[in-house]
Structure 1
Amino acid sequence: MSSLRAKIQDVFNEPACEQNRGKDAKARKEGCSKPLTPGAAAGGCAFDGAKIVLQPITDVAHLIHAPLACEGNSWDNRGAASSGPTLWRTSFTTDLTELDVVMGRGERKLFKAIREIKEAYGPPAIFVYPTCVTALIGDDIEAVCKRAAEKFGLPVVPVNAPGFVGSKNLGNKLAGEALLEHVIGTVEPDDAGPYDINILGEFNLSGEFWLVKPLLDRLGIRVRACIPGDARYFDIACAHRARAAMMVCSTALINLARKMEQRWDIPFFEGSFYGITDTSEALRQISRLLVKKGADPEILGRTEALIAEEEAIAWKKLTAYRPRLEGKRVLLNTGGVKSWSVVHALMEIGIEIVGTSVKKSTVEDKERIKQILKDDNHMFEQMAPRELYAMLSEHKADIMLSGGRTQFIALKAKTPWLDINQERQHPYAGYDGMVELVRQIDFAIHNPIWRQVREPAPWDCQTAVREELPSTKSETATLHVVQEFAGTTIDDFGGC
């Protein structure tokens, strides 16, 4: 527990974070995230954050040393995709019971589970995650993992991030610490080259990275390791031989990028693959860093040629959507890198941003938003569901882009909604991803269902028709009324 406390303090004192450098020593010890409320699961815990970062490593067995519910609540919490191995989709847990806790059988049960996984699946490594229960009862996870690694001849990595130590974001960083301590640098590749890079904080949601990797392949740039999206254990173990790195989500793995630069001299920058302009700039930055590390400067010219070709294709595809979407108003209720990268992407085709959430954004993210929007009036730290509903029901936005948690607010307000968070079904990265994002926004806004649901209900229309019909006192008069109104439609009675 003392080693865990030291790691947490080290993560809180992050010198690569400009906001953290501006704090005094006491404020740094408190960390960046708000303390957790006991019993509240919204937003995730440290265990959840560690699992998010490491589970997309596809050929590794992820073993949860805890009661069954801990694994049940955390499994499949990201829509990451794999191009090969499927072991990461298999759920492993020691399933501790009350009797195991009382009798002190946790460590033996963990060792047995590691042996069973080794014999049944033969993975290149096993990641072991303690949770609140096993951390509180004092199971020595690191000792068991070390003994199992020696016994079974494969890496067994302890991921020491029990839920009670802090927020999901802290768990992200502790997962990065586990990779630094036990994985990265443990294997020496025999094919290292001057065009090798790492991509950090890219989760390959809905296969997004597969839209970007072909661009790098055309430039002769090899992704030594994408951490964690569609990753393999061996690739991550060799990641220390990359020449440069791109940080996609700094709030998750900034500590990993900084320490890899310190230990192995791998320079990094923070960029985005959302939007045409940002994708082009990311490719330029990667090429510049590689040249600084010794690559042939001719890659700069090839990069510009590729950018010109891909931008021309993308803008040609987007031309058809501009007349339909220009001037449309978007409310963006997300956070992190998407709070500014998606804003920039949408403004490129003439869409107006009426608001963007910065709840999970860093100070750097907020500064980028100010530069893009020219002011901070459209930024909000947090908007209550009641306020979101009022804004949408008053038609101050034509569509809301957010995660699944707020979709029902938009649906209740009869407003189009599109999922852009981790549960999304479509990839939005790169040039092709930008075209897909615009296409999905166009589909959502112009879907005829919204015109239908905003019309009065049929029974309200029937009431209006009855009020328009004159009263009759005889069957003959009634027949004349029927004949008079024959062939009329609902619209003839006032526009129901």
Structure 2
Amino acid sequence: MSSFSAKIQDVFNEPACEQNRGKDAKTRKEGCSKPLTPGAAAGGCAFDGAKIVLQPITDVAHLIHAPLACEGNSWDNRGAASSGPTLWRTSFTTDLTELDVVMGQGERKLFKAIREIKEAYGPPAIFVYPTCVTALIGDDINAVCKRAAEKFGLPVVPVNAPGFVGSKNLGNKLAGEALLDHVIGTVEPDDAGPYDINVLGEFNLSGEFWLVKPLLDRLGIRVRACIPGDARYLDIASAHRAGAAMMVCSTALINLARKMEQRWDIPFFEGSFYGITDTSEALRQISQLLVKKGADPEILGRTEALIAEQEAIAWKKLAAYRPRLEGKRVLLNTGGVKSWSVVHALMEIGIEIVGTSVKKSTVQDKERIKQILKDDNHIFEQMAPRELYAMLSEQKADIMLSGGRTQFIALKAKTPWLDINQERQHPYAGYDGMVELVRQIDLAIHNPIWRQVREPAPWDCQCAVREELPRTKKETTTLHVVQEFTGTTADDFGEC
């Protein structure tokens, strides 16, 4: 356990994080977790964060060494997509019971489960995840995995990120440590070249990386490993032979990028594939890093030619939407890299940002937003549901972009809403993804249902309709009687 504690402290002390470098020694040991608000959701545990990062490795068997309830939903995993293997969507758990815990049968049951998976599925590797229960009772996951790997002749990787050690973000980083310790560098590729790159922190949500990869293919750039989106075990195992790397979400795997640069001299930069300008800039930086590592400088010219071609196509498609969306107001309630990359992308076509959340954003993310918006008043750390509802019901925004948890606030306020988080059904990365994002915003805002739901209900207008019709003598007499009995006047009737 002492080595595990040292690992966690090492993750807390991240020198590549500017915010971390500015802390004193005592504050640095506390990590980046914020105190929880009583009654509020914690936002996921370390086990959840580790599984989110590693499960999109599609040909690996992911075994949860825990009681059944810790497994959760393995089928969807936040919308990540696979172009081939489906083993990652199969749930594997040791299903520990109270009797197993009391009698100390956890390690024996884990070894047996690894053997059964090997015989039934023959995966290239098995990842083992302990949770709070198995970590607390002291099951030696490392020893069992080492013995199973020797016995069955395949990599068995311990992912030591039980839920109680910290937040989801800490679990992301511990997953990166597991890859560094047990996977990356274990296989030597026979086809390494000067145009190989890694893409880190890209989850291929809704298959959106598939909109970017063809651009790299046209430049002759090969993605040695995309970690974790649509990844294969052998690709990650040989990722140490890439020439450069792009970090898509720094808060998740910045430790992985930094240590790969230290160990194997793989330079990296942080970029985004959201928006036309950011996509172009990402392609430029990838090419520049490869040239610095020895690639032919002619790739720089080909990159600029491809950017010019793709930008012209994208802007031509977007021109049809500009008259319909220019000046429309968007409220963005998300976080992380999307808090600034999507803001920049939307402003490129004339959409006004009335607010963006920075709840899960780094200090660097916040600085980018300030540079883009030029106004701190549109940035909020956290907005309560009541405040969101008030802002939308007062029609201060024409649409809200957020995750599924806040969609009902927008619907209650009779405001268009679009899913921008991991559960979305449409890919928004790259040039084509930007066009799709704008198309979905246009469809949502101009959907005729919003005009209908904002109109008064039919029963609120019955009096007005009846006033316009000639009353019979009986109806007039009845109205007078009601007025005298209730003390109302004629003006109280017929108003919507």
Q: TM-score range by the shorter chain?
A: over 0.9
After TM superposition, the structure 1 stretch with the greater mean CA deviation from structure 2, 201-210 or 66-75, is 66-75
Q: CA deviation at 1:428?
A: 0.1
Q: CA deviation at 1:410?
A: 0.3
> CA 1:195/1:461 → structure 2, altered by over 3 Å: closer, same or farther?
same
Q: CA deviation at 1:477?
A: 12
CA distance in 1, matches of 2:491, 2:298: 67
After TM superposition, the structure 1 stretch with the greater mean CA deviation from structure 2, 468-477 or 436-445, is 468-477
- 1:48–1:74 Cα contact (<8 Å) kept: no
Q: CA deviation at 1:41?
A: 5.0
> CA 1:495/1:337 → structure 2, altered by over 3 Å: closer, same or farther?
farther
Q: CA deviation at 1:2?
A: 1.6
> CA 1:297/1:134 → structure 2, altered by over 3 Å: closer, same or farther?
same
CA distance in 2, matches of 1:52, 1:276: 28
> CA 1:36/1:10 → structure 2, altered by over 3 Å: closer, same or farther?
farther
- 1:35–1:167 Cα contact (<8 Å) kept: no
- 1:472–1:478 Cα contact (<8 Å) kept: no
> CA 1:100/1:41 → structure 2, altered by over 3 Å: closer, same or farther?
farther
- 2:204–2:210 Cα contact (<8 Å) kept: yes
CA distance in 1, matches of 2:8, 2:364: 22
CA distance in 2, matches of 1:485, 1:188: 93
> CA 1:222/1:468 → structure 2, altered by over 3 Å: closer, same or farther?
same
Aligned residues: 496
1:53-89 CA distance string (max 9 Å, x none): 0000000000000011110256633100000000001
- 2:62–2:92 Cα contact (<8 Å) kept: yes
> CA 1:491/1:103 → structure 2, altered by over 3 Å: closer, same or farther?
farther
- 1:216–1:222 Cα contact (<8 Å) kept: yes
> CA 1:495/1:421 → structure 2, altered by over 3 Å: closer, same or farther?
farther
- 1:36–1:167 Cα contact (<8 Å) kept: no
- 2:188–2:238 Cα contact (<8 Å) kept: yes
- 1:428–1:437 Cα contact (<8 Å) kept: yes
Q: CA deviation at 1:146?
A: 0.3
> CA 1:484/1:279 → structure 2, altered by over 3 Å: closer, same or farther?
farther
User: Secondary structure at the residue paired with 1:377?
Assistant: helix
> CA 1:119/1:41 → structure 2, altered by over 3 Å: closer, same or farther?
farther
1:159 match: 159
Q: TM-score, normalised by structure 2?
A: 0.95
Q: CA deviation at 1:472?
A: 2.1
> CA 1:377/1:486 → structure 2, altered by over 3 Å: closer, same or farther?
closer
Q: Percent identity?
A: 95
- 1:465–1:493 Cα contact (<8 Å) kept: no
> Structure 1: where are the runs of 5+ without partners?
none
1:387-425 CA distance string (max 9 Å, x none): 000000000000000000100000000000000100000
> CA 1:473/1:77 → structure 2, altered by over 3 Å: closer, same or farther?
same
1:267-316 CA distance string (max 9 Å, x none): 00000000000000000000000000000000000000000000000000
> CA 1:387/1:484 → structure 2, altered by over 3 Å: closer, same or farther?
closer
- 1:187–1:237 Cα contact (<8 Å) kept: yes
Q: CA deviation at 1:12?
A: 0.5
Q: CA deviation at 1:155?
A: 0.2
- 1:250–1:270 Cα contact (<8 Å) kept: yes
> CA 1:159/1:323 → structure 2, altered by over 3 Å: closer, same or farther?
same
CA distance in 1, matches of 2:124, 2:37: 38
Q: CA deviation at 1:374?
A: 1.1
> CA 1:315/1:484 → structure 2, altered by over 3 Å: closer, same or farther?
farther
Q: CA deviation at 1:471?
A: 3.8
After TM superposition, the structure 1 stretch with the greater mean CA deviation from structure 2, 349-358 or 480-489, is 480-489
User: Secondary structure at the residue paired with 1:42?
Assistant: coil
Are residues 1:22 and 2:15 paired? no
CA distance in 2, matches of 1:490, 1:90: 69
> CA 1:470/1:201 → structure 2, altered by over 3 Å: closer, same or farther?
same
CA distance in 2, matches of 1:257, 1:196: 15
